């Protein structure tokens, strides 16, 4: 395994630099999210006052502690709350600040305490609207045409569907590999897909275990489920474990409820989508597909700090697929690495083979070759890091 110590640590991302992407998230996105949540439900005076207080805290105040009787107070203390409370949201690690914001948002709306708002996902209306959109219908309909394509093309399309998430239709269009490779600034800035496929046994063996650490719900979760369904039906894996968040998080991150919503959406669809949906339903009932919501999934920490029980579980997996931008930040460490920093070095801590499927929506990036980085900077400045127009498939075996 590569020597992690050979790679000098890069600076941890903070949100205290005006004009930076992390600063814009804290100063603009978080207040907008509070206002959106405030308008999504007819919350009572208590919840509205709490949301207003959180808004004031985010924009002009400091990080407040959780209530003394918070069910997870000790857990957050172990995750660094004592060192961060009383400080500006902009002066603590960005990953920590973002994660704690969503925990405090749920506190404000009464998600965790007995009462009428307990367990009500404040982001559910937007999740369901996306899942029920005409765009989802179009993406599911594309599965019917895909069924007539060669096996390797179907595999590639479903992998790219999972990669691009709510731009999954790009995966089904089967853009030529040659076209992507011919550009100095390709949509796919790193592609270890052949290594990914090599880590899964040939079709029919059915002995592998896949862990997939999900990112977003809705139109991004559906392609993840389709990829799992294909691997199960091909018997390239015998078991899949889908890791989701234990509570609503980062606006659109998937919870167990979101998995069930997506599964119902598939089974109610016509054509091939329903076939995939029934395969997933069957896999859940017989245990070949399980859903896991480990508390660490919502921790404000990198995966290098994962607890022993989760480490043991991922060690036993044939392959772990880590989905999305936030999980990538947690995988490599939320640091401003030089883009050519080897991906294998910064993931050496991970307990087993790992693949990252990610569209670029934040500054963190590793594993690029120098030519690709130079071409991206020449063409786009630094916008390529955050615009969501580029993606990567990176694997450490």
pLDDT(241) > 60: yes
Q: What is the pLDDT of residue 183?
A: 60
Q: What is the pLDDT of residue 252?
A: 94
Q: Range with the lowest mean pLDDT among 168-172, 256-260, 322-326, 339-343?
A: 168-172
Of residues 186 and 375, which shows the higher confidence score?
Answer: 375
Q: Read off the pTM.
A: 0.94
pLDDT(312) > 90: yes
What residues pair up with 289 in beta bridges, in sequence order? 240
Length of the chain: 397
Q: What is the pLDDT of residues 108-118, one digit of tens each?
A: 999 999 999 99
Q: What is the pLDDT of residue 185?
A: 76
Q: What is the pLDDT of residue 6?
A: 63
Mean pLDDT of 336-346: 97
Q: What is the pLDDT of residue 203?
A: 72
Q: Range with the lowest mean pLDDT among 168-172, 279-283, 334-338?
A: 168-172
Of residues 170 and 247, which shows the higher confidence score?
Answer: 247
Cβ proximity of 94 and 364 under 8 Å = no
Which residue has tokens 């800035």? 189
Q: What is the pLDDT of residues 83-112, one digit of tens each?
A: 999 999 999 999 999 999 999 999 999 999
pLDDT(316) > 50: yes
Sorting pLDDT into bands at 50, 70 and 90, what band is 236? Answer: very high
Q: What is the pLDDT of residue 7?
A: 77
Q: What is the pLDDT of residue 167?
A: 60
What percent of the chain lies above the pLDDT cut of 90? 86
Q: What is the pLDDT of residue 278?
A: 98
Mean pLDDT of 9-14: 94
Which residue has tokens 């969501």? 388
Cβ proximity of 255 and 246 under 8 Å = yes
Sorting pLDDT into bands at 50, 70 and 90, what band is 182? Answer: very low
Q: What is the pLDDT of residues 193-215, one digit of tens each?
A: 999 999 998 877 778 999 999 99
Sorting pLDDT into bands at 50, 70 and 90, what band is 240? Answer: very high
Sorting pLDDT into bands at 50, 70 and 90, what band is 178? Answer: very low
Q: At what angle do helices 45-60 and 94-108 cross, to 10 degrees?
A: 160
Which residue has tokens 């083979």? 353
Q: What is the pLDDT of residue 206?
A: 77
Q: What is the pLDDT of residues 17-61, one digit of tens each?
A: 999 999 999 999 999 999 999 999 999 999 999 999 999 999 889
H helical segments located in 247-392:
256-267, 272-286, 308-315, 324-332, 343-346, 370-380
Cβ proximity of 331 and 356 under 8 Å = yes
Q: What's the whole-number average pLDDT of the chain?
A: 92
Q: What is the pLDDT of residue 2?
A: 43
Q: At what angle do helices 30-40 and 45-60 cross, to 10 degrees?
A: 170
């Amino acid at each position: 395994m590569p020597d992690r110590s050979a790679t000098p640590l890069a600076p941890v991302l903070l949100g205290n630099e005006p004009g930076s992407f992390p600063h814009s998230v804290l100063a603009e996105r978080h207040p907008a999210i509070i206002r959106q949540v405030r308008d999504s439900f007819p919350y009572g005076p208590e919840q509205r006052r709490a949301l207003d207080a959180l808004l004031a805290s985010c924009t002009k105040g400091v990080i407040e502690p959780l209530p003394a009787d918070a069910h997870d107070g000790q857990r957050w203390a172990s995750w660094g709350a004592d060192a961060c409370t009383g400080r500006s949201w902009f002066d603590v690690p960005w990953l920590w600040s973002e994660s704690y914001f969503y925990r405090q948002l749920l506190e404000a709306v009464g998600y965790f305490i007995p009462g009428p708002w307990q367990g009500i996902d404040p982001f559910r209306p937007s999740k369901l609207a996306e899942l029920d959109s005409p765009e989802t219908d179009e993406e599911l309909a594309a599965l019917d045409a895909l069924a007539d394509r060669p096996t390797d093309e179907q595999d590639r399309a479903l992998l790219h569907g999972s990669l691009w998430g709510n731009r999954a239709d790009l995966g089904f269009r089967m853009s030529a590999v040659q076209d992507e490779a011919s550009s100095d600034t390709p949509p796919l800035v790193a592609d270890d897909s052949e290594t990914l496929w090599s880590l899964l046994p040939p079709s029919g063996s059915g002995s592998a275990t896949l862990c997939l650490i999900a990112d977003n719900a809705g139109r991004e979760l559906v392609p993840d489920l389709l990829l799992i369904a294909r691997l199960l039906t091909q018997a390239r894996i015998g078991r899949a474990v889908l890791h989701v968040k234990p509570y609503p998080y980062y606006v659109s991150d998937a919870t167990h409820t979101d998995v069930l919503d997506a599964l119902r959406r598939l089974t109610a669809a016509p054509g091939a989508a329903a076939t995939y949906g029934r395969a997933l339903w069957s896999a859940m009932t017989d245990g070949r597909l399980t859903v896991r919501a480990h508390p660490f999934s919502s921790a404000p920490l990198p995966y290098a700090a994962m607890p022993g029980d989760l480490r043991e579980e991922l060690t036993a997996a044939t392959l772990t697929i880590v989905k999305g931008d936030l999980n990538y930040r947690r995988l490599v460490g939320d640091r401003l690495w030089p883009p050519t920093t080897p991906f294998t070095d910064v993931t050496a801590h991970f307990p087993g083979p790992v693949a990252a499927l990610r569209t670029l929506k934040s500054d963190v990036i590793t594993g690029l070759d120098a030519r690709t980085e130079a071409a991206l900077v020449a063409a786009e400045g630094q916008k390529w890091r955050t615009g969501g127009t580029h993606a990567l498939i990176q694997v450490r075996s």
